[in-house]
């Protein structure tokens, strides 16, 4: 018996990185997965690799009508929606607050914060109607503290964290749990590409007390825990999985 036996789960941003690892793990734990992404090529490839209990659905989570259609697709195809993993974000704008292009700010918030809201907005009524469910939102340590030049991402992720708490308390008596995971730096394609293999990557690894980046599978296992009955008394929890980076004050020290 898998931890998600016979559950219907929808994962956004499933064509790559944390979402792809979560799709793989959920299916191996008995779930049927609707893998949602804007990237049709990699999304279809992922579904093909994961097997017949993973179907691809194309949607842009920044568009409310597409998110409504995505939830409708899940329910019309499989009769219910037990787990929603809202996992898409875009860093969007890389600039100090005083120079940030307005349009880049708006795009980052539309995808990374509004996209998570739209997911819950359309999935929660379905979960209420069917008598329960679980939502796991991917936030970030960047929603708990700030990064230079990432104000839009920081604000969006902080918003995801508090929206998680709001939904959690509102739906707790409807048998719906809503939690969030806050990854530290995880070796997914965008970060690996941005860092390259040189000094930048080594410095970031060193900055984590564990001395390395996380793996997508390590975050997927936290998502599985929050989606499954293993976390049955948890709702509104913000679970940090960051190799110790937020445990550090930032003062210089001497790793052992």
Please choose, out of 10-18, 144-152, 165-173, 199-207, the segment that lies near ligand NAD by the rule CB under 6 A: 10-18
Residue 158, interface with ligand NAD (CB under 6 A)? no
For ligand NAD, the closer of residues 179 and 188 by Cβ is 188
Residue 231, interface with ligand NAD (CB under 6 A)? no
Write the DSSP string, the chain: --TTTT-EEEEETTTSHHHHHHHHHHHHTT-EEEEEES-HHHHHHHHHHH-TTEEEEE--TTSHHHHHHHHHHHHHHHS---EEEE--------B-GGG--HHHHHHHHIIIIIHHHHHHHHHHHHHHHHT-EEEEEE--GGGTS--TTBHHHHHHHHHHHHHHHHHHHHHGGGTEEEEEEEE--B--HHHHHHH-SSHHHHHHHHHSTTSS-B-HHHHHHHHHHHHSGGGTT--S-EEEESTTGGGS-S------
Residue 245, interface with ligand NAD (CB under 6 A)? no
Residue among 7, 10, 13, 124 that touches ligand NAD (CB under 6 A): 13
Residue 138, interface with ligand NAD (CB under 6 A)? yes
Give the other-Cβ count within 10 Å of 102's Cβ: 8
Closest approach of Cβ 233 to ligand NAD, in Å? 25
Residue among 51, 132, 190, 211 that touches ligand NAD (CB under 6 A): 190
- CA–CA separation, 229 and 250 (whole Å): 36
Closest approach of Cβ 13 to ligand NAD, in Å? 3
For ligand NAD, the closer of residues 34 and 232 by Cβ is 34
Tell me the per-residue interface mask from 102 to 121 with ligand NAD, x by CB under 6 A, - otherwise.
---------x----------
Residue 90, interface with ligand NAD (CB under 6 A)? yes
Residue 17, interface with ligand NAD (CB under 6 A)? yes
Give, as ranges, the residues between 49 and 88 that touch ligand NAD (CB under 6 A).
59-62, 87-88
Closest approach of Cβ 170 to ligand NAD, in Å? 22
Tell me which residue has its CB nearest to ligand NAD: 17
Residue 134, interface with ligand NAD (CB under 6 A)? no
Q: Any catalytic annotation for residue 118?
A: no
CA angle (89 as vertex; 223, 79 as ends), nearest 5: 55
Cα→Cα distances 194→9, 188, 191, 217, Å: 31, 10, 5, 20
Q: How many residues form the binding site for ligand NAD (CB under 6 A)? A: 28
Q: Which residues are the active-site residues?
A: 153
Interface contacts to ligand NAD, rule CB under 6 A: 12-13, 15-19, 37-39, 59-62, 87-90, 111, 138, 140, 183, 185-186, 188-191
């Amino acid at each position: 018996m898998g931890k998600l036996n016979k559950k219907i789960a929808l994962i956004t941003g499933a064509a790559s990185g944390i979402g792809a690892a979560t799709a793989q793990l959920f299916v191996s734990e008995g779930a049927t997965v609707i893998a949602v992404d804007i990237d049709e090529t990699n999304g279809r490839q992922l579904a093909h690799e994961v097997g017949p209990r993973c179907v691809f659905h194309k949607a842009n989570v920044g568009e409310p009508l597409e998110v409504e259609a995505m939830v409708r697709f899940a329910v019309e195809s499989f009769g219910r929606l037990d787990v929603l993993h809202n996992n898409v974000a875009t860093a969007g704008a890389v600039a100090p607050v005083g120079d940030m292009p307005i349009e880049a700010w708006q795009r980052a918030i539309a995808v990374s914060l509004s996209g998570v809201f739209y997911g819950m907005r359309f999935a929660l009524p379905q979960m209420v109607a069917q008598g329960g469910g679980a939502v796991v939102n991917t936030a970030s340590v960047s929603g708990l503290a700030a990064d230079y030049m990432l104000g839009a991402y920081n604000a969006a992720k902080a918003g995801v964290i508090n929206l998680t708490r709001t939904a959690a308390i509102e739906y707790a008596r409807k048998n719906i749990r809503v939690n969030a995971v806050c990854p530290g730096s995880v070796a997914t394609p965008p970060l690996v590409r941005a860092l390259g293999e040189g000094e930048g990557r080594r410095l970031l690894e060193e900055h984590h007390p564990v001395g390395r980046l996380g793996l997508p599978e390590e975050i997927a296992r936290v998502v599985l825990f929050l989606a499954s009955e293993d976390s049955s008394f948890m709702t509104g929890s913000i679970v940090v999985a960051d190799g110790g980076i937020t445990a550090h004050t930032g003062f210089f020290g001497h790793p052992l």
